[in-house]
Amino acid sequence: MKRDDFLVEIGTEELPPRFLRQLSADFEENVASELRTLGLDFEDIDRYATPRRLAVIVKNLDSAQPERESVRQGPSLKSAFDDKNEPTRAALGFASSCGVKVEQLETLETEKGSRLVHRTLIQGQAVQELLCQVVEAALTRLPIDRRMRWGDQRVEFVRPLRWVVMLYGSSVVKGSILGIGADRLTFGHRFMSSGSIELGSPNEYAEALRKAHVMVEFDRRQELIREQLETVANDLQGHVVIDEKLLEEVTALVEWPVTLSGEYDNEFLAAPEKVLISAMKEHQRYFHLVDANGALLARFLAVVNIESTNPALVIAGNEKVIRPRLADATFFYQLDTKKTLHAKLEQLKGVVFHAQLGSYFDKAQRVSDLAGYIARQLGFDAALAERAGLLCKVDLVTALVNEFPDLQGTMGYYFAINDEEPPEVAVALREHYLPAFAGDRVPASDTGRVLALADKMDTLIGLFSIGQPPSGSRDPFGLRRAALGIVRIVVEERLDLDLFACLRHGASLFTGQEFPSEALLGYILERLSNWYQDRGVPQSVVLAVRAGGVDDSVGHNLLDLARRVDAVDGFRQGGSAASLSEANKRVANILLKQVDEVSRGAVDAALLEEKAERELYQVIEAKRQAIGPLMASREYSAALNSLADLQAAIDCFFDEVMVMVEDLPVRNNRIALLQQLRQLFLEIADISLIQSN
């Protein structure tokens, strides 16, 4: 079958920069999916994206769908022919509907017997007849929250369309996309090129646009910007701090990147560095520079979308724009430092946390109390934790955070330092939002960990108590992130904390709310399970641990549960795990069928008749004594490894001893022996639930 390359380029008004890479990736994936659905084969697919275009090139795409056989089933042979083997009305009618005679039909053996069938070959459609529907379907499936209309069009897209290129080989694909007719004409840089560009074939695309000052390859453009930033910074004897999110956003804003440097007055450096960096990054998309010691330099790097003949004029324009922003930031900082954080605390009464849960002032009081409670459990300084809890949300009412929302939390630290609060309190204010996203670091200070836990627990307790847990993809208060944050802080920092007690204390601080203890605890434990799954630990291991334990308190202490999970996962990968797991399943199945309370009693050594059961009894007694100290010190791996020695005795017991004998006292005694064996393992986990490698 003949093959050729296919190019589609969707020319638009400027696309949203924060979503350009994802839009491009989804467009590529959707085109590929639609082609496969239609049975069209291709070799590879490349994607391209700039602020004004989305494009893909499909390499070696089939020129037509392959032929396919259509098999239409008709009546059974019994109903198709009468006793004289003459076709019945059913056979004649089926043949007529297929446009053939009865003798041209075939028979097919099916599960329901022999039937008449009609086979036909269906010719595949030419690819050019299908490509418009492929592209329109791919665009329609893009995950766009808000679509626009333009002109008198009824069609919608993320931004208005301006042109469409569709070429299969050297031929234009006839048709239109979202009301725009396809052509071979594309357009270069908005300011550095003029007129349209006629493309002869898809393989001319990238080079033709490069000559028109458009670099269509997103990743290549991003790496060029990175190289330019580092080169200019080196020339200035500084180091550029490249924020990857900002780099991606800037890449999505330009088609022909040129990096220029500018400077601002040194007097601005009196303000906290984070304030200046936020003003440059969030408002102007500038990259900041630091010296060899990491101190901020009064310079910035701007990536512009034009290769100017007078770069000094462009630099001057950028410098003119940044100075008022820095002046505003400095002014707001100076204004905010005229009053202490504590003096602003009352202002939180006017900031609603949740209509049913009160203001941020109410939340600060609760977080302060809970932070002190957690600190006392861990042996940390409760006074510092309570002070940090009281002040942790006050920066919300500052003018600076109102102007620069990304500084929430960060500015609390600077204001606390300015107020001469204890350094531990200041650091905790900066850390209490951590971890803020997947892979983010956890708080490094004791007070920061306590404050982060208290804040996250308070939010979870409050929202669960009013019946607003996360549902599906909706999680406006970030409860999943909060629960995972609790898991990570406790487990990674090895905090020996009674989680259930903390949640219960936190719930007591709410007025008139019922504490959904089981639902909330279960939710946090689900996040633990998901966290372990992301680390390669099967969910069955966490379930085994939660199903074990001497009582229902397993899970109240996340650190203890995590130690058990680590031990069971290590055991799972050992040589004896599979056989011991199967033995435990066998024991569990036997015990599950027993309802006689005698089976839960003590073992009577006098009723142990067989050598194998006596030996198992002796080994169990010895192991109970051996693992007692290990369990007390939470050395679960050592305890499991010790219990692995039971394997030989267990195998021997099941090989030589009949449990369900007629003699009821002997039977119950053997069941009690198995109950003791099972209980030894359950003190750590129900290993019958795990699966070995």
Strands 196-198 and 185-187: antiparallel
Same domain, 137 and 88: no
Residue 685's domain comprises 577-689
Integer Cα distance of 319 and 288 in angstroms: 13
Instruction: For 190, list phi and psi in degrees, rounded to 5.
Output: -60, -35
Same domain, 90 and 25: no
Same domain, 662 and 676: yes
Q: What is the 3-state secondary structure (H, E, C) of 384-447?
A: HHHHHHHHCCHHHHCHHHHHCHHHCCHHHHHHHHHCCCCHHHHHHHHHCCCCCCCCCCCCCCHH
Integer Cα distance of 613 and 611 in angstroms: 6
Asked whether the bond before 435 is cis by omega within 30 degrees of 0, the reply is yes
CATH number, domain of 678, equals 1.10.730.10
368-382 tens-digit pLDDT: 999 999 999 999 999
Q: How far is CA 240 from the centre of its chain?
A: 29
Is 546 part of any domain? no
Helix axes 311-336, 410-418, angle to 10 degrees: 60
Strands 68-76 and 113-122: antiparallel
* Average pLDDT score, the chain: 89
Integer Cα distance of 370 and 84 in angstroms: 92
- Judged against a pLDDT cut of 50, whether residue 121 lies above it is answered with yes
Integer Cα distance of 505 and 484 in angstroms: 20
Report long-range pairs for 245-251 (Cβ below 8 Å, ≥24 apart).
Answer: 246/281, 246/285, 246/287, 247/222, 248/21, 248/222, 249/17, 249/18, 249/285, 250/17, 250/225, 250/285, 250/303, 251/218, 251/221, 251/222, 251/225
Same domain, 601 and 487: no
User: With contact defined as beta carbons under 8 Å apart, do 537 and 656 qualify?
Assistant: no
Residue 581: CB atoms within 10 A of its CB come to 22
Of residues 361 and 124, more confidence is placed in 361
Question: Which residue shows structure tokens 């750590």?
Answer: 684
Task: Out of 84-93, 143-152, 260-269, 409-418, pick the least confident.
Answer: 143-152
pLDDT band at 175 (very low <50, low <70, confident <90, very high): very high
Which pLDDT score is estimated for 597?
Answer: 47
Same domain, 385 and 312: no
Establish how many alpha carbons lie within 13 A of residue 366's alpha carbon, considering only the half-sphere containing its beta carbon.
28
235's tokens: 């020339």
Integer Cα distance of 536 and 261 in angstroms: 46
CATH number, domain of 494, equals 1.10.3210.10
Mean pLDDT for the stretch of residues 327-354: 93
Is 402 part of any domain? yes
465-521 tens-digit pLDDT: 888 888 777 788 889 999 999 999 999 999 999 998 999 899 999 887 677 777 888
Is 569 part of any domain? no
Same domain, 375 and 476: yes
Same domain, 185 and 230: no
pLDDT band at 209 (very low <50, low <70, confident <90, very high): very high
Burial of 44 (0-12, 13-18, 19+ CB in 10 A): exposed
User: With contact defined as beta carbons under 8 Å apart, do 500 and 374 qualify?
Assistant: no
- Judged against a pLDDT cut of 70, whether residue 1 lies above it is answered with no
Which pLDDT score is estimated for 112?
Answer: 78
Helix (H) or strand (E) holding 54: strand 53-62
Residue 559 falls in which region: left (phi positive, over 0), alpha (psi -120 to 50) or beta: alpha
Mean pLDDT for the stretch of residues 555-582: 80
pLDDT band at 554 (very low <50, low <70, confident <90, very high): low
Mean pLDDT for the stretch of residues 677-688: 79
User: With contact defined as beta carbons under 8 Å apart, do 291 and 260 qualify?
Assistant: no
633-642 tens-digit pLDDT: 888 888 888 8
pLDDT band at 409 (very low <50, low <70, confident <90, very high): confident
- Judged against a pLDDT cut of 80, whether residue 549 lies above it is answered with no
Of residues 304 and 538, more confidence is placed in 304
- Judged against a pLDDT cut of 50, whether residue 598 lies above it is answered with no
Integer Cα distance of 619 and 644 in angstroms: 11
User: With contact defined as beta carbons under 8 Å apart, do 187 and 193 qualify?
Assistant: yes
**Domain stops at, among 121, 139, 162:** 121
Is 554 part of any domain? no
Q: What percent of the chain has pLDDT over 90?
A: 54
**Domain stops at, among 211, 228, 250:** 211
Is 523 part of any domain? yes
Integer Cα distance of 190 and 192 in angstroms: 6
Got the DSSP string for 140-205?
HTS--SS-B--TT----BSS-EEEEEEEETTEEPPSEETTEEEESEEE--TTT--SEEE-SSGGGH
**Domain stops at, among 99, 121, 143:** 121
Which pLDDT score is estimated for 599?
Answer: 46
Got the DSSP string for 6-26?
EEEEEEESPPPGGGHHHHHHH
- DSSP3 helix / strand / coil % (the chain, rounded to 5): 55, 15, 30
- Judged against a pLDDT cut of 80, whether residue 691 lies above it is answered with no
- The one-letter amino acid code at 248 reads E
Task: Out of 110-114, 211-215, 330-334, 604-608, pick the least confident.
Answer: 604-608
Which pLDDT score is estimated for 600?
Answer: 56
Task: Provide the number of structural domains found in the chain.
Answer: 5
Task: Out of 33-47, 109-123, 414-428, 573-587, pick the least confident.
Answer: 573-587
Longest dimension (CA), the chain: 109
Same domain, 31 and 152: yes
Same domain, 590 and 494: no
Q: What percent of the chain has pLDDT over 70?
A: 96
Is 551 part of any domain? no
3 state SS of 101: coil
Is 544 part of any domain? no
Same domain, 301 and 429: no
DSSP character for 689?
Answer: G
Integer Cα distance of 467 and 236 in angstroms: 57
Same domain, 96 and 237: no
Is 547 part of any domain? no
Same domain, 57 and 73: no
Instruction: For 178, list phi and psi in degrees, rounded to 5.
Output: 50, 40
Highest mean pLDDT among 215-224, 610-619, 639-648, 650-659: 215-224
Mean pLDDT for the stretch of residues 165-188: 95
Which pLDDT score is estimated for 432?
Answer: 95
User: What is the signed CA dihedral for 630, 633, 638, 640, rounded to 10 degrees?
Assistant: 70
Which pLDDT score is estimated for 659?
Answer: 76
Mean pLDDT for the stretch of residues 248-265: 96
